Structure 1
């Protein structure tokens, strides 16, 4: 379908609203003709948020910040996240303009035939033996802090990753996290994959196969900032940066134990990503970082450094509410004694109401929270006189699937992997573990010890002919055909799917698309992300600001187009990004023209 442009009067009316974020992205040809570029870009990822969520929220909350953003700017209703749609390839796409074929990032927990296993014996120059590539919270320098409530329950990583704020990682004042300084000391390098050529561990930023917007902007002498959920997203610094192209990175660990403002752990005794009231508190620290940076200070609010050319954050509250069967949504307190508690749990995910699928109570609350925080950012932009020089882009690293709870089927992938390995071992007694790695959320990824086409086809055929047992949304047993998959790519077909050479070594040897609703997990979740169904990939995309037309674009776009759009908005060359040149990634249509 063609685009349509809203009447100019509608844009003018919205521009008069006091809380409207005034933003702008100028075409490259306009910039080259001498038109002023914007000085700042604020990028927001509302992880998990679909275009259909935006449609619902705008319709039911016409006075919201999200409504003003979308109605007064350019809205892209057919935006697709990366494939796979996991957080890391999704975030990396936003920052580089590239898909896994260029970035080499297929998942946050993956494997590569071109590296050696962390900690393994290594002789420089010998062929790679293959190894795990895990850039996730286990990489924190302080990844094993005892449960504050009951040490016998196990450990969490530290909120500040490196123990620089909390003695031995014991968090008694969560607000002190604003003093966190993330750099290489936040990470345990011994957990990184090993480069067989040098036998040295590969840092997250050097594993990335292409440069990032932060490198281009930093190298242009302009300040950069970003806030995210793991310290390992220092990877966005890009290769060869020595982790220095993001001037102000703030990444408090979301997998750490959730602690209420008074230093008492949440009574649910879990991490920040499994209690939505806690997730909102957690997101609030990143919001404060952004507000401080918009005000010209560093993320802590202590040093006056100037407003970054690019800054932003990801929200987690929506994603958590989408996946949780039931969760507390509100932190209550403090009372007269300074104590806090949480509201009663509410249903997560989506519900059928009068024949329509709509967000349930927990998810509705999460959308309200995000909208309120966007309102705070809007107010800060106007307060600081940035409205005429700032572009804001609101999108999502990934969606979430399934949206319809009646489609949910949870299947444990472990028994399937074990059965495949056992069947292979019967024919190949010298190799009892054919599948050596893989992460299956709502997709299938297998890395094999034998990468021959015959071995890849063996796994594909087993998966296709296997009947798996699972559970529906009511936790009743169900049976799924084809291991829960609808399409499988193996060996050379998998390489072709990603557009890389067969000997690339980074892509999954066997890659599968799940049947709508299938999630590989215990029956504790309502949804997941990582796959390629509509719920996984059809995310919101809104750009708003001076010079940006009030329009709706229904033609397909991708989240990779955010990166060149950011550079174009700042008057920098989108073609400075290697992935833009390799993949031909375009600036978002209607606001920035073709890349130069």
Structure 2
């Protein structure tokens, strides 16, 4: 497919020349030519996800001068104050939105722990057994997780855990399904590599092997995919990197250094020379860890106005400093004037208002088990493994599954039970046992035609049969270790910060309050690089537009 390169600009240049010869050259034409020249200066796009970053965090920290580096980007760019995730806000659908331009309906990513009725177990290499597998692409996707092993290596052990890789029949051949086979659409990394001569791509994230899906179906979209595992054991402390936000900073610093190495003309490790990536970026976890920490321990927020507690304040200060280091490196190498920078998040966190917090345990799963819609003893999916750990290869097949955080995704064991299950859920909406806390005005039970419209037909195997969005503030857990979570469509989950800096842009310093989706980031990135957004399959299927201000061929 062809890119939308320069032919229209050539026409404009010819027209301007003719007008000049005729003495009719106008200021408007001159401004247009200047604008074209400025747009052509974008050679690199840096995408940064500060996981947990709400729009209110951006407004508050800029207003109080608590994030001067982000404020400088906003002053030179556009701040979108009404940006939202596409209905689900877990890390997988959140990042897929940013790099595919699609929602779970086209990208096929609902959670890092999900279910697919068409897949066979990892041990079923002939695809002759039952179908229906609980797919887990998280920290245990690395070989360190094999047989429930300890996660002892920062790189996840250096290979895939074979027990984490299910199978599918592809043209009659039983084929392993790696994460890059699991995503259903291509990514910006693939498009850029295929359509920009000499392009290089890079990314760093929190799981060493689960994020292989960023490569896209080709399996080769990211030239430099940094293999870092946040759940690995730090030998200096004998704990993983998410025990406290200051320890998470140490992990995130690895990603800062990766970006600095890449800006310096090296690979992410700094060991080899490499071209500066055309599209690159990373994810930060520090803020997310600080938000989840209990209010009693100084985590989360102090009130409904997003006043940050001590840990969140410290995390935002750290992230802004990290951003400043990255921008400084770009400037040092004369790249700031040719690099667009997008700062946003995969997801927010809920509830920021601690008074709304409800933790009754996983009442949703218990209700389904009690009514025999799932195994009454909880033996469904990989909740029942020989080692007691996910991804040891011994999970049960064809059982249905439930994934809960501050949302509930339900894949029924028997899809014919849908009407009965929905009735049971609707009969138990209150927070009183055995209720599921979904009786408020912002709660809903999604199924049938509306669910199909949002997420696709469950009959195809990937889409949940039912999505339960409980009252904002409800977390389906009894854990005392965290007071916030994400994954659903509650306001605090889905309303995110989004700042876009483009060198020399005429609309610098603007605020845009139109409602936009984070899916619009991906086509915007392609626009900035003079590529056709529809080269992304999800963009073509869902009709995703670039962000306002970048949704035309010339801007």
8 Å contact 2:168–2:176 — kept in the other structure? yes
8 Å contact 1:463–1:483 — kept in the other structure? no
Query: Residues 234-282 of structure 1, C-alpha deviation per residue, up to 9 Å, x if partnerless?
Result: 211111x2x322111113111112x2xxx4215xxx4212311110000
Distance 1:552 1:483, change over 3 A: closer
In structure 2, the gaps of 5 or more residues are 1-31, 381-397
TM-score w.r.t. length of structure 1: 0.77
Separation (CA, whole Å) in 2 of partners of 1:121 and 1:510: 30
- Choose which of 401, 421, 438 in structure 2 pairs with 1:459: 421
Secondary structure of residue in 2 paired with 1:112:
coil
1:350 — aligned with what?
Answer: 301
Query: Following TM superposition, by how much is the alpha carbon of 1:224 offset from its aligned partner in structure 2, in angstroms?
Result: 0.4
**Equivalences, count:** 498
2:5 — aligned with what?
Answer: none
Separation (CA, whole Å) in 1 of partners of 2:492 and 2:540: 29
Are residues 1:40 and 2:44 paired?
yes
2:237 — aligned with what?
Answer: 265
Equivalences for residues 2-401 of structure 1 within 5 A: 36-61=40-65, 64-120=68-124, 122-123=126-127, 129-143=131-145, 155-156=150-151, 158-163=153-158, 186-197=159-170, 198-220=173-195, 221-231=198-208, 232-239=210-217, 241=218, 243-257=219-233, 259=234, 263-265=235-237, 270-325=239-294, 346-352=297-303, 356-401=305-350
Distance 1:595 1:533, change over 3 A: farther
Secondary structure of residue in 1 paired with 2:114:
strand
Are residues 1:539 and 2:496 paired?
yes
Secondary structure of residue in 1 paired with 2:475:
strand
Bigger Cα displacement from structure 2, 399-408 vs 501-510: 501-510
2:20 — aligned with what?
Answer: none
8 Å contact 2:437–2:474 — kept in the other structure? no
1:8 — aligned with what?
Answer: none
Separation (CA, whole Å) in 1 of partners of 2:354 and 2:33: 47
Separation (CA, whole Å) in 2 of partners of 1:391 and 1:244: 24
Query: Following TM superposition, by how much is the alpha carbon of 1:567 offset from its aligned partner in structure 2, in angstroms?
Result: 1.3
Distance 1:204 1:123, change over 3 A: closer
1:573 — aligned with what?
Answer: 532
2:18 — aligned with what?
Answer: none
Query: Following TM superposition, by how much is the alpha carbon of 1:493 offset from its aligned partner in structure 2, in angstroms?
Result: 4.2
Query: Following TM superposition, by how much is the alpha carbon of 1:554 offset from its aligned partner in structure 2, in angstroms?
Result: 0.3
Separation (CA, whole Å) in 1 of partners of 2:34 and 2:545: 16
Query: Residues 556-575 of structure 1, C-alpha deviation per residue, up to 9 Å, x if partnerless?
Result: 11111111111111222212
Query: Residues 126-181 of structure 1, C-alpha deviation per residue, up to 9 Å, x if partnerless?
Result: 9x7211121111111112699xxxxxxx8335322125xxxxxxxxxxxxxxxxxx
Separation (CA, whole Å) in 2 of partners of 1:511 and 1:252: 32
Separation (CA, whole Å) in 2 of partners of 1:412 and 1:435: 22
Separation (CA, whole Å) in 1 of partners of 2:436 and 2:411: 23
Separation (CA, whole Å) in 1 of partners of 2:34 and 2:411: 48
Separation (CA, whole Å) in 2 of partners of 1:368 and 1:478: 42
Query: Residues 430-471 of structure 1, C-alpha deviation per residue, up to 9 Å, x if partnerless?
Result: x9979721211111111111112xx1122222222226768x
Distance 1:85 1:572, change over 3 A: same
Distance 1:32 1:581, change over 3 A: farther
Query: Residues 537-593 of structure 1, C-alpha deviation per residue, up to 9 Å, x if partnerless?
Result: 110111113232121110011111111111111222212111111111111111352
8 Å contact 2:487–2:493 — kept in the other structure? yes
Separation (CA, whole Å) in 2 of partners of 1:432 and 1:234: 29
Are residues 1:509 and 2:484 paired?
no
8 Å contact 1:144–1:156 — kept in the other structure? no
Secondary structure of residue in 2 paired with 1:155:
coil
2:389 — aligned with what?
Answer: none
Separation (CA, whole Å) in 1 of partners of 2:429 and 2:529: 53
Query: Residues 469-528 of structure 1, C-alpha deviation per residue, up to 9 Å, x if partnerless?
Result: 68xxxxxx9986448992112344432332x23522211111111101001112422111
Separation (CA, whole Å) in 1 of partners of 2:153 and 2:60: 37
Separation (CA, whole Å) in 1 of partners of 2:415 and 2:146: 35
Secondary structure of residue in 2 paired with 1:142:
helix
- Choose which of 414, 419, 423 in structure 1 pairs with 2:371: 423
8 Å contact 2:38–2:503 — kept in the other structure? no
Secondary structure of residue in 1 paired with 2:281:
strand
Bigger Cα displacement from structure 2, 566-575 vs 552-561: 566-575
For the aligned residue pairs, the C-alpha RMSD in angstroms reads: 3.1
2:10 — aligned with what?
Answer: none
Query: Following TM superposition, by how much is the alpha carbon of 1:370 offset from its aligned partner in structure 2, in angstroms?
Result: 0.2
8 Å contact 1:50–1:535 — kept in the other structure? yes
Separation (CA, whole Å) in 2 of partners of 1:142 and 1:155: 6
Query: Residues 313-347 of structure 1, C-alpha deviation per residue, up to 9 Å, x if partnerless?
Result: 011000000001169xxxxxxxxxxxxxxxxxx51
Are residues 1:563 and 2:512 paired?
no
Distance 1:478 1:102, change over 3 A: closer
Separation (CA, whole Å) in 2 of partners of 1:358 and 1:492: 40
